Amino acid sequence: MRHLYSHGEAIALAMALLFAVAGLVQVTGPGLVRRAYGRWGYSSREYRITGALELLVAGLLLSSSTRTAGLVLAAIVNFVAVVLLLGHRAYVIAVPGFLIAAAVLVAFVQSR
């Protein structure tokens, strides 16, 4: 019996959903996001750019022909986010970023 999706595809699709949700949250900029970015000295422009990049990642991850580019961009966006969170001592909030980094790596290896 053939599986509908490979492990790498399933992980990439799950990450697409996570990046889409995160992107929508960033783009809409609810109070929690606005306050965090403001506290760290960033403007609304930064969280909207971050959200747009996350939505782009989600879109790229959906298609097998653009998945590698999506994984590379996901790794970059995630790395920058984790570094910024660690720099602002938001250690607990950075933990999901480490899990996403592992998922990106697994999806990348599985896609080869």
Q: Return the domain boundaries, the chain.
A: 7-107
Tell me the per-residue pLDDT of 59-91, one tens digit each, with 9 for 90 and over. 999 999 999 999 999 999 999 999 999 999 999
Rounded mean pLDDT of 10-14? 90
Neighbouring C-beta atoms of residue 39, cutoff 10 Å: 9
pTM: 0.89
Please tell me the predicted confidence (pLDDT) of residue 110: 83
Q: CA of 44: how far to CAs of 11, 29, 66, 112, in Å? A: 31, 8, 29, 38
Token couple for 45: 């422009």
